[in-house]
A and B are shown apart, each in its own frame.
Chain A
Amino acid sequence: NAGVMQNPRHLVRRRGQEARLRCSPVKGHSHVYWYRQLPEEGLKFMVYLQKENIIDESGMPKERFSAEFPKEGPSILRIQQVVRGDSAAYFCASSPGQGGGSPLHFGNGTRLTVT
């Protein structure tokens, strides 16, 4: 069984460009979460999505960041007009969404470097 797949593993963007990060959840999982890990810090929740719906985006910056999880295809985290402060590791996690007893499965992350 494939786990959570994220690509690319490493992404380099110049300031002002767009970054698109992809996440394919574990097969059968309908809930996706995005977390950001800044250097020397723990993971910070960004957004929680179910198929075609954003459930909780309380951790998303108000501007430049957006996320989607379409009916078909991977979840996408999009960062427009990147700045140096966006450099971080972005992790996707998925769960079957059955509530208690369903821990998150994490991908290996996308490491974004903004030059």
Chain B
Amino acid sequence: AQSVTQLGSHVSVSEGALVLLRCNYSSSVPPYLFWYVQYPNQGLQLLLKYTSAATLVKGINGFEAEFKKSETSFHLTKPSAHMSDAAEYFCAVSRDFQKLVFGTGTRLLVSP
């Protein structure tokens, strides 16, 4: 069975500071990995995806994530936080790109 663990239900940063959202996965097969962002009362928007082509994946809005098989991690980073980054972020794993298993989410708070 596949699963995702997101460490920290809330992360607070100052505007301009580094953003680091943690995600560890469990999968018995090479996984597909995703980060989605959810703004209040909206659906999920894909930030980036890992499909085994490259371990460092660049996404939209300046976010990137690095796949580390040895650590079973897929942490999301952004060098400099912006107020508009405040949202909930979900990591997800899939074996076939169809049925995603989501983590419980991390709410990012950005203070001026």
Contact = CB atoms under 8 A, between A and B. Distances in A.
A88 B45 CA distance: 19
B100 A109 contact: no
B92 to A, nearest CB: 8
A28 interface: no
Contacts, number: 61
The range of chain A's interface size is: 20 to 34
A8 to B, nearest CB: 13
Interface in A59-115: 91, 93, 95, 99-109, 111
Interface of A: 4, 6, 31, 33, 35, 40-45, 48, 56, 91, 93, 95, 99-109, 111
15 contacts: A40-B9, A40-B104, A41-B105, A42-B103, A42-B104, A42-B105, A44-B102, A91-B44, A95-B98, A100-B32, A100-B51, A100-B97, A103-B49, A107-B43, A108-B41
